[in-house]
């Protein structure tokens, strides 16, 4: 009978003998890869999955200073994004194993957003929106946190990244104008993880709450153009392989639409309580009673918030303590 040590040694000896034949699949945005091949002339499947980052402070402190390659993909205001190689074995763009986002200088709000925290499910009624959330949105816009968006919309940065935009005049922004470019979270290589961002030129629509029945033709036109442009630039992707959605609450209060590949695995950013399908919004507006001015500000929206977020601390937690039914723990 083999000992445990012998069994482990025998198992460990198999992997180096794997002879690659075919890539079967990549999922989890390319972080898991399934390969077909042989070991000792017998068919074998090898599934490679990137392990979680070690949590050792020494390791984490060493990562930025030990990168073998670092290529900037873009920079706008305080945001920078890169592809990098942590391995010294044949470092290149093709073998890059890290997608890095840098926010510098970051704010306390950024730190809260990216920190581990509890999550709450809240219900935002039209009254809460009007009296509490809308003023909060106004305060965020007044704080100058949209500079990086305006840089793009006004053609000052990321011009070379724009995939499509309506006729543009920097002297006079088009009320129905919009543009399309890669989202900073996409590595610009893995098509199954494609993530594009559609930005509108107009500044009076902060979120889906500002959409009204009169905007339906404009929304349909944007949807058509975003899909058309995406499938033209990435011809291996077909129209029915794309999802379009918006976030509520969004990260920033300038209306934008996310365009992603349907195989991009749905993490927290696509989950119920965060993402709302563009088709669902259009349908809701179409079936809504009232005239052209009737809109999404009349509905009750349920969504998730981190307990460290300003919106929870400043709006919904006080409502809960005052006896309202604004939230449920998750």
Q: How far apart are CA 277 and CA 243, in angstroms?
A: 8
Instruction: Measure Cα distances from 209 to 84, 224, 253 in Å.
Output: 39, 22, 11
Closest among 303, 307, 316, 300 to 272, alpha carbons compared: 303
Cis ω on the peptide bond leading into residue 259 (within 30° of 0)? no
List active site positions.
256
Helix (H), strand (E), coil (C) string for 242-280? EEEEEECCCCCCCCEEEEEECCCCCCHHHCCCCEEEHHH
Listed residue (299, 306, 296, 298) closest to 327, CA to CA: 306
> How many C-beta neighbours within 10 Å does residue 258 have?
21
* C-alpha 295: how far from chain center: 26
DSSP string, 218-229: HHHHHHHHHHHH
CB burial of 112-134 (b: ≥16 within 10 Å; e: otherwise) equals bbeeeeeebbbebbeebbeebbb
Distance between CA atoms of 182 and 161, rounded to whole angstroms?
Answer: 7
């Amino acid at each position: 009978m083999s000992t445990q040590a012998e069994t482990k040694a025998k198992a460990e000896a198999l992997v180096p003998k794997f002879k690659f034949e075919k890539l079967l699949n990549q999922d989890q945005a390319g972080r898991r890869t399934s390969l077909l091949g042989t070991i000792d002339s017998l068919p074998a499947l090898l599934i490679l999955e990137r392990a979680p980052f070690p949590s050792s402070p020494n390791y984490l402190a060493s990562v930025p200073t030990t990168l073998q390659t670092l290529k900037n993909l873009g920079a706008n205001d305080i945001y920078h994004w890169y592809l990098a190689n942590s391995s010294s074995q044949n470092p290149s763009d093709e073998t890059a194993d890290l997608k890095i986002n840098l926010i510098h200088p970051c704010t306390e709000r950024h730190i809260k957003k990216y920190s581990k925290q509890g999550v709450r499910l809240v219900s935002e009624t039209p009254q809460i929106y009007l009296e509490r959330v809308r003023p909060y949105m106004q305060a965020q816009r007044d704080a100058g946190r949209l500079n990086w968006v305006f840089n793009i919309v006004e053609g000052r940065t990321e011009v070379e990244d724009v995939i499509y935009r309506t006729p543009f005049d920097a002297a006079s922004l088009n009320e129905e104008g919009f543009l399309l470019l890669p989202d900073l979270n996409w590595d610009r290589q893995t098509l199954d993880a494609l993530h594009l961002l559609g930005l509108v030129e107009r500044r009076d629509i902060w979120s889906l709450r500002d959409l009204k029945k009169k905007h339906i033709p404009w929304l349909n036109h944007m949807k058509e153009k975003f899909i058309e442009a995406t499938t033209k630039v990435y011809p291996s992707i077909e129209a029915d392989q794309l999802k379009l959605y918006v976030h509520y609450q969004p990260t920033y209060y300038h209306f934008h639409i996310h365009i992603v590949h349907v195989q991009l695995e749905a993490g927290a950013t696509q989950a119920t309580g965060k993402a709302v399908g563009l088709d669902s919004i259009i349908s809701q507006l179409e079936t809504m009673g009232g005239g052209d001015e009737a809109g999404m500000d009349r509905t009750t929206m349920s969504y998730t918030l981190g307990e460290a977020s300003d919106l929870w601390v400043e709006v919904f937690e006080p409502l809960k303590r005052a006896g309202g039914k604004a939230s449920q723990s998750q």
